Structure 1
Amino acid sequence: MKDIIVDEFQATVQDSLIRHRSILDIMTKLSESNSRINRAVAKAVTNHGCIKINAQKQQIPDDASLDNITEFLSYQIEGKLCDNCREVLEEEIGNNLYYLAALCNALDLNLFDIILEQKEKIETLGKFSML
């Protein structure tokens, strides 16, 4: 069922993409949407103040193992997104997914297959997958 949703999404993007059909347009719109996500997170901190970033060096004990390392790591975010910031971020992430699907269409790639392959790689390699 989930594969149908992703495939339908990708097909819908294919049918709706007219204005930015060039691969260069798609690439730059995808890049722009990444920037807009970053900007929306920054605005949640600086304008709304609903979240705070408390970035510092992650403190990991020397005897920590990969099995328990997540106990010592955090996203370094305090607070929760307000409804407005959540709505903006959901829209920006949706736009990003739209242009990601458009890129897949332009290059004849199947987004669901990519997601599935990545999931299987993560499951196989576990915590070693993104070191």
Structure 2
Amino acid sequence: MRDIDCKTFQDKVDELLVRHRSILDVLSKFQESNARVNRSVVKAVTNCGCINITASKKDLPPDIDLEQMKNFMETHLQGKLCDSCKEIIEMELGNNLFYLVSLCNLLNLDLSEILKKEYGKISILGKFNLS
């Protein structure tokens, strides 16, 4: 498959979005797709077991600076997604992306411009972009 840019994807989504053209439909479908992404990750832990989550409070040294903090932080993930869970999560993320782009389309927002602005913001703020 060829590389796809944001505009091409956004145009295709606009072409295909027929049933859920209402902003209310798109907002609710976007929220539902967020929940499905979360659920698919949870099922990778609880049903399949290919990944584990081990989390606890992280005590950081008091004299640590922001640059060093990354060395002390963890993802809390152990293991690796199996092919089945990876496929499901990728599918759910794709659906989520579809509804994100649908929302952009209905609001006449350019996803590429949003990405550029966010990239610029995080590039300028660097590690201080703690949102």
SS at match of 1:68: helix
| Aligned counterpart, 2:118 | 118
In structure 1, the partner of 2:31 is: 31
Residue 115 of structure 1 aligns with an amino acid whose one-letter code is: L
* Percent of matched pairs sharing the same residue: 49
C-alpha RMSD over aligned residues? 1.2
Partner of 1:21: 21
TM-score by length of 1: 0.95
* Equivalent residue number for residue 53 of structure 1: 53
Structure 1 segment 47-86 matched on structure 2, within 5 A = 47-86=47-86
State the SS of the aligned residue for 2:98: helix
CA apart distance, 1:129: 1.1
Q: Distance in 1 between matches of 2:61 and 2:93?
A: 35
What number of residue pairs does the alignment pair up? 129
The answer to whether the Cα contact below 8 Å between 1:53 and 1:76 also exists between their aligned partners in 2 is: yes
C-alpha distance in 2 between matches for 1:14 and 1:68: 44
| Stretches (4+) displaced over 2 A | none
Output the CA distance in 2 between the equivalents of 1:90 and 1:79.
17
Structure 2 stretches of 5 or more lacking a match? none
Deviation for aligned residue 1:127: 1.0
